[in-house]
């Protein structure tokens, strides 16, 4: 089957398609993939074509609220509404994003399983170490990305892959969250792909055991990648800032941080 993703609006190119194809090549029939943040279905359709062409029996779930991410919903200065006049944001503002996703992916209805929930609600549907590949491309602020990583990482099998989009570009919240969690806390290598802004981690460790050890040790001596050294001077309403206490609660799922 030929790819048709270029007919769907979104942010997904040939490099990303090839990396999705590599995930399909890496994993066997019976594998389970989850994409968090599917928008109009551009990336989802590319994965569906790769799965169909592989003739493998791979379950593929697409998690999204199809209400736009928080940066779309807040839109305090009207920036998104202004863009919507002549762009791909129009369906977000109009409120028919889910229908457009379904229309764009209807030929892949036997492959794509839409899960219309928030990321924090959806990860509770899956058992620990039940997934082979998870791709995070939802909200882009640091707090939301950390929640996604904390919520979904334990769901990935040892030997699986967790990855995401928009690393190293204008979405500094993504870069900061990935570097903090995997670089500073978990201390695992993050592969990055500058040409398409992917980040990728091979899960060759027991996440639950590692997080238990981290929580016993305590989250200390971490610094913000943007160099801000005085957290008390930053508004706690800033979604690109988290305190040590808040991060500890995310990791330990206390205070309902992973409940939305």
Q: Per CATH, the architecture of 5-259 is what?
A: 3-Layer(aba) Sandwich (3.40)
> Tens digits of per-residue pLDDT, 188-214?
999 999 889 999 999 998 877 777 777
Inform me whether the pLDDT recorded for 79 exceeds 60. Answer: no
**What confidence score (pLDDT) does residue 68 get?**
75
pTM of the shown model? 0.82
Inform me whether the pLDDT recorded for 165 exceeds 50. Answer: yes
The pairing of strands 191-193 and 112-115 is unpaired
Helical segments of 168-254, H only: 172-178, 207-217, 244-252
CB 34 within 8 A of CB 135: yes
Least confident of 163-167, 175-179, 209-213, 221-225: 221-225
Our separate counts of H helices and E strands in the chain read: 11, 7
Report the pLDDT averaged over residues 139-151.
92
Percent of the chain, pLDDT > 70? 76
The separation between CA 30 and the C-alpha centre of its own chain, rounded to angstroms, equals 22
**What confidence score (pLDDT) does residue 231 get?**
39
DSSP 89: T
Contacts of 124 (CB under 8 A, 6+ apart): none
Inform me whether the pLDDT recorded for 46 exceeds 70. Answer: yes
Terminal Cα distance for the chain, rounded:
39
Mean pLDDT in the chain? 82
Report the pLDDT averaged over residues 136-144.
93
> Tens digits of per-residue pLDDT, 80-133?
455 445 555 454 444 699 999 999 999 999 999 999 999 999 999 999 999 999
Inform me whether the pLDDT recorded for 76 exceeds 50. Answer: no
> Tens digits of per-residue pLDDT, 242-260?
777 777 777 776 444 444 4
**What confidence score (pLDDT) does residue 246 get?**
74
Residue 75 pLDDT class (50, 70, 90 cuts): very low
CB 44 within 8 A of CB 85: no
């Amino acid at each position: 089957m030929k790819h048709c993703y270029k007919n769907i609006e979104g942010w997904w190119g040939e490099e990303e398609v090839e990396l999705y194809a590599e995930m399909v090549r890496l994993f066997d029939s019976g594998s389970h993939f989850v994409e968090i943040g599917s928008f109009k279905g551009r990336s989802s359709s590319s994965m569906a074509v790769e799965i169909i062409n592989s003739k493998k029996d791979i379950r593929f779930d697409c998690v999204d609220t199809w209400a736009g991410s928080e940066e779309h919903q807040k839109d305090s200065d009207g920036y998104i509404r202004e863009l919507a006049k002549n762009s791909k944001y129009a369906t977000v503002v109009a409120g028919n994003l889910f229908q457009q996703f379904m229309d764009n992916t209807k030929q892949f209805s036997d492959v794509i399983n839409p899960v219309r929930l928030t990321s924090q609600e959806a990860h509770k549907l899956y058992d620990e170490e039940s997934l082979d590949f998870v791709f995070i491309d939802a909200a882009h602020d640091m707090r939301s990305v950390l929640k996604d990583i904390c919520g979904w990482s334990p769901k990935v099998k040892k030997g699986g892959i967790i990855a995401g989009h928009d690393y190293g570009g204008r979405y500094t919240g993504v870069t900061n969250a990935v570097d903090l969690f995997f670089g500073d806390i978990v201390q695992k290598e993050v592969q990055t792909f500058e040409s398409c802004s992917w980040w990728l981690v091979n899960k060759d460790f027991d996440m639950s055991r590692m997080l238990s050890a981290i929580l016993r040790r305590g989250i200390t001596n971490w610094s913000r990648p943007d160099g801000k050294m005085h957290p008390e001077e930053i508004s706690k309403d800033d979604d690109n800032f988290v305190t040590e206490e808040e991060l500890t609660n995310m990791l330990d799922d206390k205070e309902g941080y992973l409940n939305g």
